[in-house]
């Protein structure tokens, strides 16, 4: 079981590492979001201190020192989403190239094949998010750029909670998009569905906009969006805990529920796609 | 356990009602090279898929090295190697890495697989190219790598599904050599499907001829040909209504006379074709029948196929379907 798991992990890694444009794009895209979008779109400039509504905007940021900081943490979740978007393409290509069938003919345990794929793809979705976070922090020291500022007293437990939230989010999104890979046979259908889901997941979360500024129906959706749950854990630990109805651990539990449900679904679909008919 | 592969009344009806394989009985001995010959769409891939646990039979049973393919598929998978029609290697990985992955998925540890991979690369003439990406490999090298992935875990039975599809004649001959060597060195049982007559003839100890999902004949190529008992002389008259058949039937030494599938020609089975041709020419001259062509043929598997199916064999190439029987079968049983 372990041997087959490591074999799948290694295959995924080699395929990833051998395509430099793939590696590069997953690291460049988050930086572009922060540099181009994050620097231009700044609620602090739209509502400068003293202007009408500026107090309301500041309050909605729930303790974040500025809008960019608020946004940058949201981007960590969004980058995780975009980096996991193509997780299922490997499955699709394997099916189309006959590699999937070759794998079925081996005695490798099905769960090991799935776990190896999930683990690598989730890992490769985490790194761009960490990079985005690091770049946003570094921006604070670059003259002319707005950067991410976190409170000076982030605890070790807080850091652990942030990492767990990121890990669960990556696992959850990866499982979701792997599921599409297992179910679908056509590339067009896959890319159609993923590009359809990408922005709704972002815009029904509080990654970019404070939940308090949304219409009530959207607030309800946003409250359950896994990206919001992860972002809530991160913002509470990095900025301030006030203004949130629940403590970080509860959001982590919600995220865990999402992850368990979607991983179970993906595991089932993976077993179904490997089943002999 | 006396047989490497055994099937009884094995069959597959797809969900859409197509009966791709009907009640196949099969028995392949250990160390045998067994060829499964039939036109495209005859049911070969469906059959090999059932024997390798990739498809569940709808009726009958099959055992590989004594293990039931339906009841214990995992145990069967441990005993077999499978080489597909298409290359299934990862293009961006090197040949060696591809073999390492294949070994790992078959449960071999790196320590177990390292010497094994070295040996396989050597045997398949891939040592020099081992650390190059597969995307730089030629068609023949890819086929060899594919075999390598199929034998890296040293299976007892190797299944090859149309292994030389798309290879040039030289590549095919080289491939046959590797297959023979595998059997000679390791006593591996080899089961291959092919739609190439010469491949089945030259490589196999025994062949089974399959058409429309049914095994029509099984035996050693030589004995199948001998069973026909004769050479063939095919005579084509200039005038299709010349009464040629009755003239030929009267010539001494004729064993059988039958219409050939094309151009109003007549086939005559005789002991030795070369000796018979002058008699044909004389008899036709005497009867005033003008001949357009006279051909002689030694019995081939083509003749065997004709005798069991009643029609000419066609070797179709992929992407070039003809209107022959094979394409009809492909529509009926195609996968």
Tens of pLDDT along B116-166? 999 999 888 899 999 999 999 988 888 889 989 999 998 999 999 888 887
Who contacts B106 (Cβ-Cβ below 8 Å, separation ≥6)? A106, A107, A108, B78, B152, B153
* A4 lies within 8 A of chain B by CB: yes
Percent of chain A with pLDDT over 90: 52
Task: Give me the residue from A3, A102, A105 closest to B104, CB to CB.
Answer: A3
Residue B322: per-residue pLDDT: 33
User: In a mutagenesis test of the B interface, which of A96, A105, A117 is the best target, namely the one with the most B β-carbons within 10 Å?
Assistant: A105
Tell me the two tokens of residue A207.
Answer: 């990654």
Q: Which domain holds residue A153?
A: 2-274
Distance from the A175 Cα atom to the nearest Cα atom in chain B, whole angstroms: 22
A213: left (phi over 0), alpha (psi -120 to 50) or beta: alpha
Distance from the B125 Cα atom to the nearest Cα atom in chain A, whole angstroms: 23
Determine the Cα–Cα distance for residues A267 and B275; give it in Å rounded to an integer.
71
Find out whether B100 and B117 touch, Cβ atoms under 8 Å: yes
Candidate from A74-83, A119-128, B319-328 with smallest mean pLDDT: B319-328
User: Pick the residue with more confidence: B81 or B85?
Assistant: B81
User: Pick the residue with more confidence: B164 or B69?
Assistant: B69
Which uninterrupted H or E stretch holds A11?
Answer: helix A2-17
What mean pLDDT, rounded, does chain A reach?
89
Find out whether B316 and B166 touch, Cβ atoms under 8 Å: no
Flag whether pLDDT at B332 surpasses 60. Answer: no
Flag whether pLDDT at A273 surpasses 90. Answer: no
User: Pick the residue with more confidence: B76 or A41?
Assistant: B76
Determine the Cα–Cα distance for residues B94 and B127; give it in Å rounded to an integer.
11
Determine the 3-state secondary structure of A239 from DSSP: coil
Sheet of B291-297: strands edge to edge?
B256-259, B266-270, B231-237, B291-297
Asked if B107 lies within 8 A of A101 by C-beta distance, the reply is no
pLDDT in tens, A186-202: 999 999 999 899 889 99
* B74 lies within 8 A of chain A by CB: yes
Task: Give me the residue from A19, A99, A277 closest to B55, CB to CB.
Answer: A277
Residue B229: per-residue pLDDT: 67
Percent of chain B with pLDDT over 90: 36
Q: Which residues of A touch B52 (CB under 8 A)?
A: 105
Distance from the B184 Cα atom to the nearest Cα atom in chain A, whole angstroms: 25
Residue B6: per-residue pLDDT: 93
* B46 lies within 8 A of chain A by CB: no
Residue B171: per-residue pLDDT: 78
**Considering its fold, how many domains does chain A have in total?**
1
Determine the Cα–Cα distance for residues A95 and A99; give it in Å rounded to an integer.
6
User: Can you tell me which residue has the tokens 């591809």?
Assistant: B98
Flag whether pLDDT at A126 surpasses 70. Answer: yes
Determine the Cα–Cα distance for residues B149 and B134; give it in Å rounded to an integer.
13
Domains of chain B by start residue, with CATH = 3-224 (3.40.50.300), 230-298 (3.30.70.100)
> Which of residues 101 through 120 in chain A touch B, CB cutoff 8 A?
101-108
Which uninterrupted H or E stretch holds B211?
Answer: strand B206-211
pLDDT in tens, A149-173: 888 888 899 999 999 999 999 999 9
Candidate from A38-42, A143-147, B55-59, B264-268 with smallest mean pLDDT: A38-42
Residue B315: per-residue pLDDT: 58
Q: Which residues of A touch B93 (CB under 8 A)?
A: 11, 14-15, 18
Flag whether pLDDT at B262 surpasses 50. Answer: yes
Who contacts A222 (Cβ-Cβ below 8 Å, separation ≥6)? A204, A205, A206, A211, A214, A228
Tell me the two tokens of residue A154.
Answer: 């982030």
Residue B334: per-residue pLDDT: 33
* B106 lies within 8 A of chain A by CB: yes
pLDDT in tens, A32-84: 888 888 888 877 777 887 877 778 878 888 888 888 899 999 999 999 999 99
**What value of ipTM does the predicted structure carry?**
0.86
Among A72, A118, A70, residue whose Cα is nearest residue A91:
A118
- Going by pLDDT thresholds of 50, 70 and 90, the confidence category of residue A179 is very high
């Amino acid at each position: 079981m372990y041997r087959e798991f490591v074999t799948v992990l290694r295959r995924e890694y080699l395929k990833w590492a051998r395509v430099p444009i793939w590696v590069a794009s997953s690291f460049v895209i988050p930086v572009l979001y922060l540099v181009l979008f994050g620097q231009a779109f700044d609620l602090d400039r739209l509502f400068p201190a003293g202007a009408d509504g500026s107090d309301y905007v500041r309050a909605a940021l729930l303790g974040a020192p500025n809008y960019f900081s608020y946004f940058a943490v949201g981007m960590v979740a969004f980058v995780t989403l975009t980096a996991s978007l193509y997780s299922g393409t490997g499955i699709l290509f394997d099916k189309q190239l006959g590699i999937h069938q070759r794998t079925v003919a081996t005695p490798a345990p099905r769960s090991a094949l799935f776990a190896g794929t999930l683990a690598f793809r989730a890992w490769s979705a985490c790194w761009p998010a960490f990079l985005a976070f690091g770049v946003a922090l570094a921006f604070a020291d670059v003259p002319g750029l707005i950067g991410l500022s976190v409170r000076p007293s982030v605890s070790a437990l807080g850091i652990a909670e942030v990492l767990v939230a990121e890990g669960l989010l990556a696992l959850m999104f990866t499982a979701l998009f792997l599921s599409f890979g297992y179910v679908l046979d056509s590339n067009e259908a896959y890319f159609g569905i993923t590009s359809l889901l990408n922005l709704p997941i972002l815009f029904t979360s509080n990654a970019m906009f404070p939940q308090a500024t949304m219409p009530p129906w959207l607030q309800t959706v946003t409250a359950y969006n896994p990206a919001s749950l992860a972002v809530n854990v991160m913002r509470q630990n990095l900025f301030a805990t006030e203004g949130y109805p629940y403590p970080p651990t509860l959001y982590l539990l919600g995220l865990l529920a999402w992850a368990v449900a979607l991983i179970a679904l993906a595991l089932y679909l993976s077993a179904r796609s490997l089943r002999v008919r | 356990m006396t047989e490497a592969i055994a099937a009884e009344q094995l069959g597959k009806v797809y969900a859409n009602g197509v009966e791709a394989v009907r009640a196949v009985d099969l028995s392949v001995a250990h160390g045998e090279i067994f060829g499964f010959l039939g036109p495209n769409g005859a049911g070969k891939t469906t059959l090999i898929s059932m024997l390798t646990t990739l498809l569940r039979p709808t009726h009958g049973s099959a055992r590989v090295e004594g293990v039931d393919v339906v009841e214990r598929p995992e145990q069967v998978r441990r005993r077999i190697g499978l080489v597909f029609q298409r290359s299934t290697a990862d293009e961006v990985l090197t040949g060696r890495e591809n073999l390492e992955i294949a070994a790992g998925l078959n449960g071999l540890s790196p320590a177990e697989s390292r010497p094994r991979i070295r040996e396989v690369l050597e045997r398949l003439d891939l040592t020099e190219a081992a650390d190059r990406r597969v995307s730089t490999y030629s068609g023949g090298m890819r086929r060899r790598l594919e075999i390598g992935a199929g034998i890296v875990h040293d299976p007892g039975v190797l299944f090859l599904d149309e292994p030389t599809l798309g290879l040039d004649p030289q590549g095919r001959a080289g491939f046959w050599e590797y297959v023979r060597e595998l059997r000679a060195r390791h006593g591996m049982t080899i089961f291959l499907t092919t739609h190439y007559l010469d491949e089945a003839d030259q490589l196999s100890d025994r062949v089974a001829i399959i058409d429309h999902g049914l095994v029509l004949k099984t035996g050693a190529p030589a004995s199948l040909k001998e069973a026909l008992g004769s050479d063939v002389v095919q005579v084509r008259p200039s005038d299709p209504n010349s009464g040629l058949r009755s003239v030929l039937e009267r010539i001494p030494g004729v064993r059988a006379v039958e219409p050939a599938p094309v151009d109003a020609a007549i086939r005559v089975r005789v002991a030795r074709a070369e000796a018979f041709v002058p008699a044909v020419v004389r008899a036709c001259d005497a009867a005033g029948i003008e001949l357009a062509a006279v051909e002689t043929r030694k019995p081939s598997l083509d003749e065997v196929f004709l005798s069991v199916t009643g029609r000419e064999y066609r070797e179709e190439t992929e992407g070039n379907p003809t209107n022959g029987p094979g394409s009809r079968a492909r529509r009926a049983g195609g996968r």
